[in-house]
Structure 1
């Protein structure tokens, strides 16, 4: 691990001033991803700014009926919050599918948003990696790529985003609130993370001197018909091969709104509005869900070891939507 300086911000002003005055500095809260990467000499910030004393832990109702989750709320705190469990059970279910209880107790929701999209080659500093060293190459494309992306890939990177929480936030149309030198702004969850393109080292659209302050959830959280499905190699503490957040409005067997968000398949959580639109006004049947699955995966491209994920993802779409339709409020 490289040497670095450490400071503790007492308020938002000092946090933003500190990050703006030290290029390459990083904010740290739970540190569950950043410290891990620093130990492996993948991340080498010269300065860490501790933001754990900032007043960003509250979970509060909004005037428009939505819910605001402070960026420093822990993953466990959010998953077991009574309002989240009651109004946004899909989010609670997704969080509890991720990592371990110990990590969920430490990790913050802001940190979860900011964790790096990564793979084993990103961690291995002896191998080329465009995410770690732009302009080298993507070792995964010709290497062992069983867990890698099948959607939205580029010649530069085929790593997948690891978060479960972010998949549910995308399905719920969450909005990320940030503060920076130019004041406050909001970023829709669908625009927060990036596909690799020619800049795989840039995971998000957050500015270098900006800080996540909260996540806003809309008033409607699909509390009746929802499901989070995570397909992985072992039952705990494993990233998803494919994950699926499904949410439906159903009246008398007919689908109104539909939400389908996938994890484990792309450089960012993946959602396809065309597949969701296809389900509107349709019967909640396996046939309808299978047609939606074909639309979601229509552009999928497999590599030597992960082509199986295309069919796996299609089955996951059908299974999760079927659960959402038939197991009302199931956890």
Structure 2
């Protein structure tokens, strides 16, 4: 099965599943560093770590290297430059800085753009979506239909994710590390008193030890990216607005095959693909059929059927139709007052 075009009409196909094995750029001999999170009180937790690690029944530990939200932001980042021609040019300015809508982590529900001149248009788009018409969302911020959005401070409308992706490392051992900072000059050379020297550890003058700090994880099993694209949701958009499912499918696939294959996650967690991805169509009975999906085929679908459908829907893709908004500090302060009310 190698044709993308038929997937919107094939009611038997429920999802595209992508599995990509990865490995550290430095090789398997080096620990890698997942994201760190603030410490939380955990009753009965067998290990203390700032990483997001879960323990299986057999004792193995699985580390989340990149979350669903982070993966969505990486995919959407491709629409800032490489795929910018495929979405409306919507920007928001605050102070001297101007960013594209696709750079905002909460998309159309982001507080910054909600507190701008586009507030009423965005509210109308969410309310229309809730009433069964997703076309206004598509004309403002179509990536909200791909990566989801929750207008939690106003209409309370939720747009589900069309695609989700995560990267996990299986069967990990948690490492710690210790280090010792030694200043170049002694206390006497610098002329500090003993009391001043003790305070100097916080500034960077005096020797400072760091003991049993988090030191990454050593991966004994697989590192794997798992992504799922919900074709049923594409068809629901197509039924609501003919052509929209095709457009959104093109955005989802292009985002996955560009930003979604960016594996430089953070310092100490640079990954590279191990072999080619396994891509399958999942049907209603759970059977899987291989799908040959190359970057060239994905971009051809986006620039062909997907963008043709978008133009027929009057999605503003030309630069002459760019939409620029300015952050309104008064509207932002009004949003602050709603904290706790919802």
Q: Which has the higher strand share?
A: 2
Q: Which structure exhibits the higher relative contact order, with contacts defined as CA atoms closer than 8 Å and separated by 6 or more residues?
A: 2
TM class by shorter chain equals under 0.3
Bigger fraction of residues in helix:
2
TM-score, length-normalised on structure 2? 0.23
Larger of the two Rg values belongs to structure: 2
TM-score of the aligned structures, taking structure 1 as reference length = 0.24
